[in-house]
Amino acid sequence: MTFELETAEHPDRLRRVAIDPVSRVEGHGKVTILLDEHNKVHQVRLHIVEFRGFEKFIQGRPYWEVPVMVQRLCGICPVSHHLAASKAMDIIVGAKKLTPIAEKLRRLMHYGQMLQSHALHFFHLCSPDLLFGFDSDVTQRNIVGVAAQHPDIAKRGVLLRKFGQEVIRLTSGKRVHGTGAVPGGMNKSLTIAERDELLKDIYQIVAWSRDAVHLIQKVHSQDPGLYNSFGTFRSNFMSIVGHNGDLDFYHGALRARDDNGKIIFDGVDYQHYDRYIQEEVKPWTYMKFPFLASLGKEHGWYKVGPLARVQNCNQISTPFAEHERKAFIDYAGGMPMHAPLAYHWTRMIEMLHAAEEIKNLLHDDDLLGSDLMVKGERQREGVGVIEAPRGTLFHHYCVDENDLVTMANLIVSTTNNNQAMNEAVRHVAKRYLHGREVTEGLLNHIEVAIRAFDPCLSCATHALGKMPLEVELVDVEGQQIHAMSRS
């Protein structure tokens, strides 16, 4: 299956421009663009060039080690992997339902993660583009430039992230790569002092999160021509939704909508995700291409993450975030918004929801409780799914009778957005680069489109033994002598 601008007919006759590495994203990726002598674009690809191998090397390890080991996939969203793996291992130990205390503590940890990751992305990675312009002076288009010209915004970004990190530290023992969740529950609750430490700042955090929504709303609304159309393409959406269709980052059932917002499937138990989602491999990237099985490779690809979640849910349970969701839906005119730059707006709505949920939980004395663990009948296979900051995250494991992992399959949030990101950069390349002299500012347009999805390229490249490979032997004239491929 090949999409428009994915593969040029005669690549050997074209000039290659590479953005390597893509900056201000997590992990290593590159974009290659093939242009002819008139600077017309013939091929655009987002390549993921790093290689991890987690699915392979956790085989043969004891299952209780997995939630701690797999979180090393990432330094920004380790909590997502920690919790998705823990949820899968809950199934393995027969813990169909956690104690309310354990679930609330896990949720608190996860909301802390959402808060810090979304703040990091918006303020540290993207605000330079949004505040200064996509082709503004490259020397100031960074967080240091933001700190110099908008010190209040930069400071809030730092403090919002810090608060999220503190929530993670107090629930998991460390700001990055802690151990709080264990199969069947949690290993710690909060002390009164820890709870009060967070309570002290939470109202300020909620207020700043509201301001952040209003900031991006203003930026977006001031230039609708750009923000609604930049890299825009239509696609399906997918996420989990909670009870009554609520926005829920921690638990729920799978729901997919088509590009008009019509439900494709709903209420799907994610234990059976593999009946609904399949993956394709391509020879030019380490990242796989998932698609909805019922629609096939050509039409089944989809978007995940904030833009999908905020439009996929029926409502948000916290008042400020629900108010902002409605404002967003109204702005979109009641139809699904597909603009990649609208990810930023919805991401800030989610950050606000996370802050409000943290505030609610901090007023719940269950967080101080001690009933943390449950067990049940041992199972051989478990799937854990969570809505990570970047989208739906699947962890699927089989465990043998000796407690060792025999199979692991991870579909990481960013992987779900693979085709979507490629579409976005192709649209931007076609609109902004086609027929023009390539400049740094124009190339940054490509990166702006990628950044909107907040990709985590480290997370997304975990497969081993399945990777497609293409080897070409060329002579000094550049003529291909021999080629081999595995896909």
Partner 1 sequence: MSTNFMLDGQSIPFEDGQTIIQAATQAGVYIPHLCYHPEFKPHGSCKLCTVKVNGRQTASCTMRASAGMVVENNTEELNAERRALTQMLFVEGNHFCPSCEKSGNCQLQATAYHLGMMSPHYDHFFPNRPVDASHPDVLLDFNRCILCSLCVRASRDVDKKNVFALSGRGIKTHLIVNAASGHLADTNFTIDDKAAKVCPVGVILHKRNGFAVPIGERTYDKAPIGAQVEAVTEGV
The reply to whether 404 sits near partner 1 by the rule CB under 8 A is yes
The reply to whether 261 sits near partner 1 by the rule CB under 8 A is no
The reply to whether 276 sits near partner 1 by the rule CB under 8 A is no
Question: Omega into 21 within 30° of 0, i.e. cis?
Answer: yes
**The binder of partner 1 chosen from 93, 168, 351, 362 (CB under 8 A):** 93
The reply to whether 266 sits near partner 1 by the rule CB under 8 A is no
DSSP for 171-207 reads HHSSSSS---EETTEES----HHHHHHHHHHHHHHHH
Which class for 475: exposed (0-12), middle (13-18), buried (19 or more C-beta within 10 A)?
Answer: exposed
The dihedral sign for the CA sequence 422, 428, 431, 437: negative
**The binder of partner 1 chosen from 116, 172, 232, 318 (CB under 8 A):** 172
Coil, helix or strand at residue 435: coil
The reply to whether 61 sits near partner 1 by the rule CB under 8 A is yes
The reply to whether 72 sits near partner 1 by the rule CB under 8 A is yes
Q: Which stretch binds partner 1 (CB under 8 A): 181-189, 217-225, 316-324, 332-340?
A: 181-189
The reply to whether 68 sits near partner 1 by the rule CB under 8 A is yes
Instruction: Convert residues 216-245 into a mask of x (bound to partner 1 by CB under 8 A) and - (unbound).
Output: ------------------------------
Strand order in the sheet with 15-19: 15-19, 29-35, 41-48
Shortest Å distance, C-beta 74 to partner 1: 13
Shortest Å distance, C-beta 462 to partner 1: 15
The reply to whether 62 sits near partner 1 by the rule CB under 8 A is yes
Binding to partner 1 in span 31-60, by CB under 8 A: 60
Q: How many residues bind partner 1 (CB under 8 A)?
A: 24
**The binder of partner 1 chosen from 104, 107, 177, 251 (CB under 8 A):** 177
Q: Which stretch binds partner 1 (CB under 8 A): 9-17, 67-75, 362-370, 478-486?
A: 67-75
Residue with tokens 């933001």: 146
65, 88, 116, 404 from 399: Cα distances, Å = 12, 11, 33, 5
Shortest Å distance, C-beta 173 to partner 1: 3
Shortest Å distance, C-beta 401 to partner 1: 9
Shortest Å distance, C-beta 157 to partner 1: 27
CB atoms within 10 A of CB 211: 14
Nearest to 81 by CA among 309, 481, 413: 413
Which class for 246: exposed (0-12), middle (13-18), buried (19 or more C-beta within 10 A)?
Answer: middle
Shortest Å distance, C-beta 58 to partner 1: 9
Shortest Å distance, C-beta 96 to partner 1: 17
Structure tokens at 237: 């959406």
Instruction: For partner 1, give the closer residue by CB, 60 or 261.
Output: 60
Q: Which stretch binds partner 1 (CB under 8 A): 144-152, 230-238, 254-262, 398-406?
A: 398-406
Q: How far apart are alpha carbons 433 and 421 in whole angstroms?
A: 17
Instruction: For partner 1, give the closer residue by CB, 242 or 369.
Output: 369
Shortest Å distance, C-beta 63 to partner 1: 8
Q: Which stretch binds partner 1 (CB under 8 A): 166-174, 288-296, 314-322, 324-332?
A: 166-174
Structure tokens at 16: 């290659």
Residues 6+ apart with CB under 8 A from 299: none
**The binder of partner 1 chosen from 180, 252, 290, 455 (CB under 8 A):** 180
Shortest Å distance, C-beta 70 to partner 1: 9
Shortest Å distance, C-beta 406 to partner 1: 11
The reply to whether 178 sits near partner 1 by the rule CB under 8 A is yes
Position 119, amino acid: A
Instruction: For partner 1, give the closer residue by CB, 168 or 460.
Output: 168
Residue with tokens 């005119």: 333
Angle at 195 between CA 194 and CA 196, to 5 degrees: 90
Nearest to 413 by CA among 293, 338, 308: 308
Q: Which stretch binds partner 1 (CB under 8 A): 36-44, 113-121, 127-135, 400-408?
A: 400-408
The reply to whether 11 sits near partner 1 by the rule CB under 8 A is no
DSSP for 37-67 reads TT--EEEEEEEE-----HHHHTTTSBGGGHH
The reply to whether 187 sits near partner 1 by the rule CB under 8 A is yes
Q: How far apart are alpha carbons 340 and 425 in whole angstroms?
A: 10
Q: How far apart are alpha carbons 355 and 153 in whole angstroms?
A: 17
Shortest Å distance, C-beta 354 to partner 1: 23
Interacting residue ranges for partner 1, rule: CB under 8 A: 60-62, 64-65, 67-69, 72, 93, 172-174, 177-180, 182-183, 187-188, 402-404
